[in-house]
Amino acid sequence: MRSWDWAVLALSLAGIVAYGLYKGRGSDTTEKYLLAGKTMPWYAMALSIMATQASAITFISTTGQAYVDGMRFVQFYFGLPVAMVILSATAVPIFHRAKVYTAYEYLEKRFDAKTRALVSLIFLIQRGLGVGVALSAPAIVLTVILGVPSSVTTVIMGTLVIVYTVMGGIKAVTWTDVQQMAIIFMGMIAALITAVALLPANVTLGDAVTLAGAAGKLNAVTFNFDWNDRYNLWSGLFGGAFLALAYFGTDQSQVQRYLTGKSITHSRLSLLFTAAVKVPMQFLILFTGAMVFVFYIYQRPPLLFNHVELERVAAAAPAALGDIEARYSAAFDARRAAASRMIGARHAGDAARAETAAAEYRTAQRALDAARAEGAALAGATGGKDFNDTNHIFLTFVTRYMPAGLVGLVFAAIFAAAMSTASAEINSLATVSVIDLYRRHISPNATDRHYLWASRVFTGVWGLYAMWFAGYGASLGSLIEAVNMVGSLFYGGMLGVFVLAFFFPRVGGTAAFCGVLAGEAAIFYAHLATKISFLWYNVLGCAVVIAVALALSAVRPRAEERQPQ
Amino acid sequence: MNEGPPFLGTWPRVYAAVIVWLALLIALFTLFTRAYNR
């Protein structure tokens, strides 16, 4: 990073905090602090929803994923618009009319206190693990790229988030999310334009698309069904819809975004705008990754994008690495030459010659992939753990090839993505802690001012916890992946109980409570004893919750349970 | 509280428009894949 980049990064971060403090003024009641006094317009909520979902690691790894695996990851989002329509028609009006601070508060109105407490605790465990990852995962990557200790980036991001989230509550969180999404969009567009602009003069955008496609990187839609395959049309539409229903309909970090809406219409529009924009946005991010792949056809990429690991392997196994590097270089030269012949034939309109060159290009690509896989295996063998450098691909491109100033903008986008996710999660964790536990079970009759200050204190405590967990997680490496997986273990049960609440008025609290426990047991069994992709856990857990609750209701119909509201 | 949407008249029509938009995107992405991915 050059001085211009540091200046852009520092100005962006200072601007985010200042804007958050400015927009968060006047949050002097619990309702204003936690629900923005229900004054937020649809576009602010929509951008906040998208910013909360787009964590820094998503931003970094999605582009790298296109480089390695192609664009098929976009299918993961196909179920999202379906879920948004269902939530707009069901959850939004129900939550608004119930006048609740949290989704779990509604569960007591509909079922009973123990069901509310159970689901609140599940949320606190799940999101409590996730909030540390939101800060630590990008910190680990930034450490390698910038050469700055991860503790420094974690403390910078964490402190800034705590300052504006504690002071301004959800208004500050939402409006900074708007600003952060703008920075993320600008950073991504700048990266795409740079990748295309740095291609050789004789390679047009059409040529670049042809080269990416010939290497299998433009596989945006795949129809093959496989239970163990995460990304195909069917898992995206059905598994993705259930995951999105659970995430946007039961996770307080998202529900709280649209509970701040000034009306049901504004809350619905925020979800439907997200539904319309999210899929094309992910396509654009993945397309940027595909263009970075094409850029590296003409510019030799490193064998391993994590340069710290590459240097370690060079010291540990120089002969083996040298052999792999030689084959990698030969494959790169062959691929570049074949690509040039392919483009030349395309421009000349010689289809037969283009097809021959494409076959040579694909052969060279396979040799290149094989050498890279050998390099990764060597890094894994010498390092004693699995090696994966997908998260380093995009940032290596950014730091080495983007012009001064734009590098700072992309890093500002990464910081913004991390901070927007962390701030929303801290804010929602504090809300559930205060509303569902503290006010409900510990101090039920205090003044509004008391709960306002309790909310500020819990926000600060969760923020400090996130920083501590991030520092701890940074030293554990692959645990990050495991923690991400833990999050997906709980959504099925949470979704199931809300489906019961909305659509099965005869089911009572005890049946719902037992259903959640059974659903979670089924998900943990599937995770430990089968190879089913995690996208299907939500479908499975939700189905088991409903089946068990209905069975219990049939055996022991609700008597003293409350009537649905 | 039962406000209509600012466009298309009713909420079911807005929901249908979102689903049609999704179907259009999937169709375009499928054409894109078939045209370029080998």
pLDDT in tens, A77-90: 999 999 999 999 99
Arithmetic mean of pLDDT, A254-276:
95
Q: How many CB atoms lie within 10 A of CB A226?
A: 11
Minimum Cα–Cα distance from A71: chain B residue:
B33
Task: Report which secondary-structure segment, H or E, holds A350.
Answer: none
pLDDT in tens, A117-136: 999 999 998 888 888 877 87
C-alpha separations of A60 from A66, A208, A413, A422, A508 in Å: 11, 22, 10, 16, 44
Nearest in space to A252 (alpha carbons), one of A127, A149, A159, A390: A127
A482 pLDDT tier (thresholds 50, 70, 90): low
Measured in residues, chain A has a length of: 565
Tell me the residue range of the domain where B23 lies.
9-38
The answer to the question of residue B4 being in a domain is no
C-alpha separations of A15 from A73, A127, A406 in Å: 33, 27, 17
Q: Is the pLDDT of residue B21 over 90?
A: yes
Min Cα separation A363/chain B (Å): 13
The answer to the question of residue B36 being in a domain is yes
State percent of chain A over pLDDT 70.
Answer: 95
pLDDT in tens, A433-456: 999 999 999 999 999 999 999 999
Give the per-residue pLDDT at A565: 47
Which residues are registered as beta bridge partners of A261? A40
Q: Is the pLDDT of residue A560 over 70?
A: no
Q: Is the pLDDT of residue A326 over 70?
A: yes
Q: What is the ipTM, given to two decimal places?
A: 0.95
B1 touches chain A (CB under 8 A): yes
Contact A213 B37 (CB under 8 A): yes
- Number of domains into which chain B is organized: 1
Question: Which amino acid would we find at residue A46?
Answer: A
**Residue pair A268/A85 in contact by the 8 Å Cβ criterion:** no
Place of tokens 């927009």: A23
A21 touches chain B (CB under 8 A): no
Contact B1 A209 (CB under 8 A): no
Measured in residues, chain B has a length of: 38
Arithmetic mean of pLDDT, A24-44:
92
pLDDT in tens, A279-313: 999 999 999 999 999 999 999 999 999 888 899 99
Tell me the average pLDDT of chain B: 92
Domain segments of chain A: what residues? 3-102+138-295+401-423, 307-388, 489-565
Arithmetic mean of pLDDT, A474-491:
62
Side-chain-facing half-sphere of A150: CA atoms under 13 Å: 21
Q: How far apart are CA A181 and CA A51, in angstroms?
A: 6
Q: How far apart are CA A519 and CA A494, in angstroms?
A: 9
Q: Given CATH 1.20.1090.10, say whether it is the number of domain A3-102+138-295+401-423.
A: no
Q: How far apart are CA B24 and CA A517, in angstroms?
A: 40
For A40, the 3-state DSSP assignment is strand
pTM for the model: 0.89
A475 pLDDT tier (thresholds 50, 70, 90): low
Rounded to the nearest 10 degrees, what angle do helices A537-555 and A509-529 cross at? 140
Place of tokens 């500002």: A412
Q: How many CB atoms lie within 10 A of CB A311?
A: 11
Give the per-residue pLDDT at A481: 53
Which residues of chain A from 71 to 130 reach within 8 Å of chain B, CB to CB?
A: 74, 78, 81-82, 84-85, 88-89, 93, 96-97
Which residues of chain B from 2 to 21 reach within 8 Å of chain A, CB to CB?
A: 2-6, 11, 14-15, 18-19, 21
pLDDT in tens, A50-74: 988 887 777 788 888 899 989 999 9
